[in-house]
A = this chain, B = another copy of it.
Amino acid sequence: MGIIYRVNMSDLTARAEPIEGSAYEALGGRGLTSALVAAEVPPQCHALSAANKLVIAPGLLTGTGAPCAGRLSVGGKSPLTGTIKESNAGGMAALALAVLGIKAVVLEGAPQDRRLHRIAVDRQGVRIEPADELAGLGNYETVARQVGQFGDKAAYVSIGQAGEMRAAAASVAVTDVDSRPTRHCGRGGMGAVMGSKGVKLIVVDPAGGQRIQLADPDAFRRAVRRFADALGRHPLTGQTLPKYGTNILANVINEAGAYPTRNFSQGQFEGTEAISGERQHDTILARGGVIAHGCHRGCTIRCSRIYVDDQGNYVTKGPEYETVWAHGANCGISDLDAIARMDRMDDDFGLDTIETGATLAVAMEAGIIPFGDAQGAIRLLEEVAKGTPLGRLVASGAAVLGKTYGVSRVPTVKGQSLPAYDPRAVQGIGVTYATSTMGADHTAGYAITANVLGVGGRVDPLRPEGQVALSRNLQIATAAVDAAGLCLFVAFCLLDDPAALEAVCEMFSALLGRPFTGDDFVALGKRILTDERRFNAAAGFTAADDRLPDFFKTEKLAPHQITFAVPDEELDTLFNFAE
């Protein structure tokens, strides 16, 4: 029970396909996007050509009533990396699709012209409608113009100017509980793929939908309660994240000497205090903003917040840890209001905040503007919406801007920028950056857990020993979490509290009507990684691509005076697991 909508943008037709009996049965989220992309997209196609597909799928547990299970996965071949890609976000769209019984919307083909379309999804089906009047609009205005027609119960999945330009750092925006486009499938340029399909937005009206049917509703309810209890008990998901949001990490990672500063040239930033989660918390409360806000209904962690200016007016959601770092320490900027303004611009133009901040830092390394120049950074970002050559470069990511400006210190793997943890001072995350099927990606195997936070055990972050095993296990578990549609933050709890993993397995069992064990959970993760690796190999990726840039191996990072030391031969064993 469930359907896949195939939307053909070459001839503007749509058809529904039952998932039952198909190869995609009992898959969801990243499990479904990666299986479908691996099976149906030619690995060597141009990511912006008609041969690529954009797969939009809620998780397997989305719409069941499971807490924190509202992630929307968006997959395809990435124009940024050339690899397979899955990028997920919270917001309301996954839930809206799930309650309509929609397992995926697959955008296929591409229009011959440059016209834009709106795809309206509701319980009657799918309509493809012209939307040229939305051309050149940011995500905020795009959504605002729809809410009158579709209402605030609908969810909106859209692209801004960057996606229309088919820029490699373009995100897919998803509206939050307040119909604001603040949640983004940011990484890997999925917004450019959506733009290449001529789709400006997808409106999902959940009216008349219903919860996912469960094989054993009572068992499911019991498991949900156990899971919610575990999330509430864990200090990170129960206390720290709700209170301070993700940016609580700024001081923690800075203290660890792993907070990449000025394009990864130092591990500590002198301006950290001014942009920390604690400061953000105090600023938001003092100005009358909101903390402990959930990005979608059914979230019990509620790490989102609402950032307001000194007059109390809405600016943007509370900028996340990665965003604050990317536009802050990494650019030598310690002005929280300037960072919030850039976060808003990123969300509006439809840009991955990590890639964008990293690109601004490389622009600083290139000498286009000096490090620390917040107003200069804002001006560079404004170029994106104008579509100038410089703006297109900023929206194309650090690798392209670095290449265009002849910069040799460009912190990317497979063309995707490194996130907010220096891999020299947290060697486990370096393993994930190097080997992930997605290009440099912290969420793919978040080794900060055992390396820094003491979650799921302890592995010395400064030594190479044990990092590959740590990253391997995390990458496997994460793929399964992403398939479930669970927010990655539940992993803190899964790693520390056996009852939490049991509860998740019980939810799977009660949903599917068959036993689902921890081993099945691991097998699911391995299967997804295997699909993804197969795609990447066929696209031409080899062990030589599973490497950090040279300078992490040659430049010592202060304050630990350390280089990345995990040997290549060990990196090459990461995917040595039996499926």
User: Which residues does A use to contact B, with CB under 8 Å?
Assistant: 42-46, 48-49, 51, 79, 165-168, 192, 195-196, 388-390, 392-393, 396, 400, 403-408, 410, 538-545, 547, 549-551
Contacts and interface: CB of A to CB of B under 8 A. Distances in A.
Given A403-B168, A406-B167, A46 B540 contact: no
B408 A392 contact: no
The residue among A48, A79, A168, A196 with the most chain B CB atoms within 10 A of its own CB is A48
A404 B408 contact: no
A389 B400 contact: no
Contact of A406 (B48, B388, B404): B48
Contact of A404 (B42, B396, B538, B541): B396
B544 A539 contact: yes
A350 to B, nearest CB: 13
A389 B44 CA distance: 29
Nearest to A539: B544
Contact of A49 (B45, B539, B550): B550
A254 B199 CA distance: 39
**Which 3 pairs from chain A and chain B are nearest by CB?**
A166-B406, A540-B544, A389-B390
A171 B471 CA distance: 43
Nearest to A547: B44
Given A396-B403, A396-B404, A540-B544, 7 more contacts: A46-B550, A51-B550, A167-B406, A192-B406, A389-B404, A400-B403, A404-B404
B48 A165 contact: no
A83 to B, nearest CB: 12
Contacts of A48: 406-408
A165 B544 contact: no
Nearest to A383: B389
Contacts of A543: 540
A539 B166 CA distance: 29
Given A46-B550, A388-B389, A408 B196 contact: yes
Contacts of A393: 389, 393, 404
B408 A46 contact: yes
12 contacts: A43-B544, A45-B550, A46-B410, A48-B408, A166-B406, A389-B390, A392-B404, A393-B393, A396-B403, A400-B404, A540-B541, A540-B544
Most interface-central of A79, A389, A403 (chain B CB within 10 A): A403
Contacts of A407: 48
Nearest to A52: B408
A434 to B, nearest CB: 12
A77 to B, nearest CB: 12
Given A540-B544, A542-B540, A545-B540, A165 B44 contact: no
A221 B148 CA distance: 89
A544 B404 CA distance: 25
Contacts of A540: 541-545
A556 to B, nearest CB: 16
Contact of A542 (B46, B195, B542): B542
Contacts of A192: 406
A79 B408 CA distance: 10
A48 to B, nearest CB: 4
Contacts of A403: 79, 168, 396, 400
A166 B538 CA distance: 32
A44 B168 contact: no
A91 B168 CA distance: 41
A49 B550 CA distance: 9
A79 B79 CA distance: 20
A549 B46 contact: yes
A541 B545 CA distance: 9
Contacts of A390: 389
Contacts of A410: 46
A364 to B, nearest CB: 15
A550 to B, nearest CB: 6
A165 B542 contact: no
Nearest to A168: B403
A377 to B, nearest CB: 15
Nearest to A163: B406
Contacts of A388: 389
A165 B406 contact: yes
Nearest to A166: B406
A538 B549 contact: no
A44 B406 contact: no
B550 A44 contact: yes
A79 B165 CA distance: 26
A168 B401 CA distance: 12
Contacts of A49: 408, 550-551
A206 to B, nearest CB: 32
A46 to B, nearest CB: 4
Nearest to A114: B367
